[in-house]
Chains A and B, each alone.
Chain A
């Protein structure tokens, strides 16, 4: 059975083949099809598979980064093909990302950021062991709509709650949404502290932020 255009787009991401990605976009657009259909049914499916394979140890960081690069190229090319005003890119959506205070683990955060950037978001990476107020200051300065935090330790989880408290105190809760991630983080924890988005992995993080942006 021959490969359809969506499968081809997905394969372009999996095989980090930029040429194939651009060729697929050209064929799709020349046929007069809706640009975002190729993104949703092809490229996003591909990057999700990449995420799953990475999560199970069957694909490795350099390949993940190369796939993320191709995803970025594809997302920019599709965006440019759309008329001014209808562009659906996320470059205007700023995200402040950090590993919480007391925690130096940043592998997961690095992967999440790569995927956000690949999807066209503007990410301000504050690094690891970051003070809560520094995150809020950065978000205010850059107009970030989201503060995304990662905590790998049960002993540093509390910093995510501290962020919620400080945002409330500063009157920014709701204006700036929060996303929580990390091995000990669960949906139950996210709900208990009042975080807006829970992400089990990088791909879920991207979907969660896209939904939050759509909801306003």
Chain B
């Protein structure tokens, strides 16, 4: 009997039989169908995944001609996690020349639009330097991070304190105020960095604070697009569904809480977003085949129905990549190949 060597979602090694592999793939698909109301993968797609995991190769890749855009968000922050203390401009050049990045993102360690306001003039100068030593399209990016708008970090009452006390209306009113303030901050920074020469603006980890976070990002995209019709906006999501922290927040007649990637994409397209980054979270307690089958079932409809480029999030803890500091290349390359070849993606 063939033993298939793969990983758990926390990166630990796992040996499976083919039957076990097939069972995990089927379970992952069923979970996607149940949670995200998507269609199951077809027989050919399942066989593709089985063969992919059966391959003995340590690293796999896409066939020539099927390469797609490789983009990185918050790259200058991530390089520091590996104890490479390069300054941001050099780090971006390294990503472009050594790591195959097709787009770049300049960002600050305080990776939230709100906290960038007092230092934006310094960011303009760094952007100028970064643009002068690189060639790839350069985004400027940060998180909407509505968590920073509530007490004690911000001016508004904290819904996480109000809601458990049953003060639902007050909690929701606080979220409404936070959205308005966040839209102002996102637009303030985006306008300055766009006018300073950034090739695009990245809204990263959208929805990290739930439906108000997504609402603020959609409104900011609309506002920016109205002012600068040519602006490029990338919207990368935080999780596979929008957490309902408010629960009754709507946009374009759609309730935001609980939306899965395809419905998120439709709203992003309407808001004028240029590139959309869907996310499926990795479950550390399930195998990589389980996670990958589930991820593909959820992301595939985005690739099939999008009218804008889709750059799926593939990194530690998302896109079936294990939740571990150094995701192993055997499963990262398998997940990347399958996502590109089965989901019709435009970028990773």
Contact = CB atoms under 8 A, between A and B. Distances in A.
Interface residues of A, number: 29
A62 B172 CA distance: 9
Contacts of A185: 284
B284 A183 contact: yes
Interface stretch (A27-35, A83-91, A186-194, A205-213): A186-194
Nearest to A58: B258
Interface string A168-204: 0000000000000001111111000000000010000
Which secondary structure characterizes the binding site on chain B?
A: loop
A155 B81 CA distance: 9
Contact of A57 (B81, B163, B244, B246): B244
Given A184-B10, A188-B10, A189-B10, A61 B244 contact: yes
Interface stretch (B50-58, B67-75, B176-184, B316-324): B316-324
A62 B285 contact: no
Nearest to B281: A183
A59 B12 CA distance: 33
A56 interface: yes
A57 B260 contact: yes
B285 A200 contact: yes
Interface string B264-286: 00000000000000000100110
Contact of B246 (A59, A62, A66, A188): A62
Contact of A183 (B168, B247, B248, B317): B317
A184 B324 contact: yes
Interface residues of B, number: 37
Contacts of A184: 10, 284, 317, 323-324
Contacts of A68: 164
Contact of A66 (B10, B168, B323): B168
A65 B168 contact: yes
B169 to A, nearest CB: 9
Contacts of A69: 166
A66 B169 CA distance: 12
Contact of A117 (B164, B258, B281): B164
Contact of B323 (A60, A61, A154, A187): A154
A62 B317 contact: no
Interface in B206-260: 210-211, 240-248, 257-260
Contacts of B285: 186-187, 200
Contacts of B8: 186, 188
A106 B208 CA distance: 12
Interface in A59-105: 59-63, 65-66, 68-69, 104
Interface string B76-99: 000001000000000000000000
A143 interface: no
A57 B258 contact: yes
A104 B163 CA distance: 19
11 contacts: A57-B244, A60-B244, A60-B247, A62-B163, A106-B160, A107-B210, A107-B243, A110-B160, A110-B164, A114-B164, A183-B281
